[in-house]
Amino acid sequence: MTPFIAELIGTVMLIVLGAGVCAGVNEKIVCVKL
């Protein structure tokens, strides 16, 4: 997974969760809900 795709997915997850921080780490999406 490219950093761009990971960031894109993170942005989508951010919108879905409403508030949170997502990052692609070792090709895995890690989300922290604020």
Per-residue pLDDT of the chain in tens (34 residues, 90 and over written 9): 578 888 888 778 777 766 566 676 766 777 676 6
Q: What's the count of helices (H) and strands (E) in the chain, helices before strands?
A: 1, 2
- Between CA 21 and CA 31 the distance in angstroms is 6
| pLDDT for the residue 20 | 62
> Longest C-alpha distance within the chain, in Å?
25
DSSP 19: S
| pLDDT for the residue 19 | 59
